[in-house]
Structure 1
């Protein structure tokens, strides 16, 4: 999925129009800090929206429904997850994820919810939002060996990390990420591709500068990201355009899928002048929407 839009659960107007944004995944955000009364209202709004669009989604397959929850260990994360799971979302974005232990804990709780709600085991996916703190950033590498099977995508938290290290900017001259942020971003990309899952770029925060937003989406795709977050509907079109596959990429993907279909059970084989393997096959299937 190319475009992921974050929708504040406490914003009635935004959540009311979320289904029409054109994003391929709508992420209802329950991780924003709110007063207790507001948070309770936001949970109800999130559950209601998820239930309302569940049947429409089954019929039309226009977008996926996800929920972003607060960090594990915060006072009310279980309440927010409870509200999310009552709407049977496709997945959970875990904000401020500290590493593999947090992912395992969330996965264990999801098993309980799926069993209680009569959902298929492992149907709820996880996208950890990584690198929010220096300590968290240093544990990302372990995910290359410890990634839970529920994890279908990785993303990262540039703003959280910048605040944590006292950085005064996210990007330097020419739009280049600061060194610490660039290191986290590179790890997200490498681990995602090593494990055959999606890598989703951090959102561009200046919603007024559409041209810069489009350039940054183009750069994210050029660097190897498979999708990007939006924080405003006006950003979705640019993200979808930036991550749309080229005709040459579609052609190559068809050749790879066809080659493996002709040679079932093959671990690797030659396609043109390239040697491709199962990871290439999975990428080709994702690009063609066959995953």
Structure 2
């Protein structure tokens, strides 16, 4: 198993909600939501004249200690913008679980970001999350993912990617599947967590649920969200079902019982070591999610 699949290291990131840091009511509401992680946003959701206040609000939220077991990250403005350097320094000083950087396009940018984080005194627990949003990033995604051990999460920026491709948002996301697949391959090749992009129509619960299922089936670890109403469906989609947990237990029991017997089967299916590893991963995820309810 990869490092992220082990029961000791696995951290649920089924639901990762963007929250505009200029909106203090939204930041307060986030303390009550059943999300696995929050992205306190300084970029797209914040108007230019509210950027400075949003930065202060996000850093104060991180320092408050009032968000319980939720993983807290800050999304800074993109490299080259007038706000980026100040955002990065302030985020490093606040010490969130992660700093999310939009439009990362190369391994060199990752290394520069990590160097800047270290120069700004970011604590060891503050990781880098890189957003992949451009055709350039799709072609260099493995190099990006492998550029630094401090980069632990890849985040798909599907809205920007669709814009760059001149593509339409359609059910099934056929225009985006090549990019999504390339980034998934890069994540698995490097042992990096990867999050699916957002679903824009908050009124379309059926379409959102279908895209969550698609993301899970493709192999994403979780999904980024734009509205609290999307949290519960996302958590359900990216958690192992009761049937999946039962089947995983059966696979492991059959494997143990058949040790040394040569061919092992479960419910008529051949069981090999790769199936055992998959079953162990399912149970590790289920146990980590169950542990959240105990916190």
Counterpart residue number, 1:13: 25
For residues 41-95 of structure 1, what are the alpha-carbon distances to aligned partners after superposition, in whole Å with 9 as ceiling and x for unaligned? Answer: 111111111111x2x45xx42x111111122222221111222223210001111
**TM-superposed deviation, 1:196:** 2.5
Counterpart residue number, 2:183: 188
Please give the alpha-carbon distance, in whole angstroms, between the structure 2 residues aligned to 1:170 and 1:222. 19
**TM-superposed deviation, 1:243:** 0.8
Q: Which runs of 5+ in 1 are unaligned?
A: 259-269
**Residues 27/271 of structure 1: CA separation in 2 closer, same or farther (3 Å cut):** farther
For residues 193-228 of structure 1, what are the alpha-carbon distances to aligned partners after superposition, in whole Å with 9 as ceiling and x for unaligned? Answer: 222232211010111112211121122112211100
Report the 3-state secondary structure (helix = DSSP H, G, I; strand = E; otherwise coil) of the residue aligned with 1:194.
helix
Counterpart residue number, 2:173: 177
Please give the alpha-carbon distance, in whole angstroms, between the structure 2 residues aligned to 1:19 and 1:206. 24
**TM-superposed deviation, 1:256:** 9.7
Counterpart residue number, 1:135: 136
RMSD of aligned residue pairs (Cα, Å): 3.1
Please give the alpha-carbon distance, in whole angstroms, between the structure 2 residues aligned to 1:64 and 1:255. 33
Please give the alpha-carbon distance, in whole angstroms, between the structure 2 residues aligned to 1:200 and 1:105. 23
Please give the alpha-carbon distance, in whole angstroms, between the structure 2 residues aligned to 1:193 and 1:288. 22
Does 2:143 correspond to 1:153? no
How many residues are paired up?
264
For residues 116-163 of structure 1, what are the alpha-carbon distances to aligned partners after superposition, in whole Å with 9 as ceiling and x for unaligned? Answer: 46x3x3x21122111x2222322224346x342112221211211222
Q: Which moved more, 1:273-282 or 1:7-16?
A: 273-282
Please give the alpha-carbon distance, in whole angstroms, between the structure 1 residues aligned to 2:173 and 2:63. 39
Counterpart residue number, 2:94: 87
User: TM-score under structure 1 normalisation?
Assistant: 0.79
**TM-superposed deviation, 1:25:** 0.2
Counterpart residue number, 2:164: 164
**Residues 20/96 of structure 1: CA separation in 2 closer, same or farther (3 Å cut):** same
User: Does the 8 A contact of 2:195 with 2:221 survive in 1?
Assistant: yes
Does 2:40 correspond to 1:28? yes
User: Does the 8 A contact of 1:19 with 1:26 survive in 2?
Assistant: no
Please give the alpha-carbon distance, in whole angstroms, between the structure 1 residues aligned to 2:111 and 2:286. 28
Please give the alpha-carbon distance, in whole angstroms, between the structure 2 residues aligned to 1:156 and 1:20. 26
Counterpart residue number, 1:107: 114
Counterpart residue number, 2:208: 213
Please give the alpha-carbon distance, in whole angstroms, between the structure 2 residues aligned to 1:255 and 1:198. 27
Does 2:14 correspond to 1:2? yes
Counterpart residue number, 1:275: 273
For residues 1-42 of structure 1, what are the alpha-carbon distances to aligned partners after superposition, in whole Å with 9 as ceiling and x for unaligned? Answer: 210000011122212211112111011011227555411111
For residues 232-282 of structure 1, what are the alpha-carbon distances to aligned partners after superposition, in whole Å with 9 as ceiling and x for unaligned? Answer: 000001100111112354467779999xxxxxxxxxxx9982224998677
Report the 3-state secondary structure (helix = DSSP H, G, I; strand = E; otherwise coil) of the residue aligned with 1:86.
helix
User: Of 69, 77, 84, which residue of structure 2 is paired with 1:77?
Assistant: 84
User: Does the 8 A contact of 1:156 with 1:184 survive in 2?
Assistant: no
Does 2:288 correspond to 1:289? yes
Counterpart residue number, 1:262: none
User: Does the 8 A contact of 1:7 with 1:27 survive in 2?
Assistant: yes
User: TM-score under structure 2 normalisation?
Assistant: 0.78
**Residues 78/105 of structure 1: CA separation in 2 closer, same or farther (3 Å cut):** same
Counterpart residue number, 2:61: 49
